[in-house]
Amino acid sequence: MAVHIRLSRIGAKKRPFYRILVADHRSPNSGRFLENIGTYDPTSDPAEFAIDADRLSYWRSKGAQPSATLDRLIKRQARVAAAEAK
């Protein structure tokens, strides 16, 4: 079973809000999922990105692949955290 980590939109029209889900690659985008590991709110200023890092590393160790968009968001979050640490 190929597992992907991806975004699932749950927001209203013109008000996007996303859940970060771990799901089988065959499941529909708003369908069954294995675990909800975070949220992403692009409408707030700055955009709010919350993810459970322990669960993310667990699923990656099991072979789960993040989507391209989610991978970009994770890398951006790491850069922001590194800049705040300085």
Torsions phi, psi of 4, nearest 5?
-120, 150
pLDDT at 1: 66
Tens of pLDDT, residue by residue over 28-81, are: 877 889 999 999 999 998 889 999 999 999 999 999 999 999 999 999 999 988
Closest CA to 2 of 67, 53, 56: 67
> What CATH number did the domain enclosing 70 receive?
3.30.1320.10
pLDDT score of 83 more than 80:
yes
| Contacts of 11 by beta carbon, 8 Å cutoff, 6+ apart | 17, 18, 43
Number of domains within the chain = 1
Q: Which domain holds residue 65?
A: 3-85
At residue 84, does pLDDT exceed 90? Answer: no
Q: What amino acid is encoded at 57 in this protein?
A: S
Query: Looking at the whole model, is its pTM more than 0.85?
Result: yes
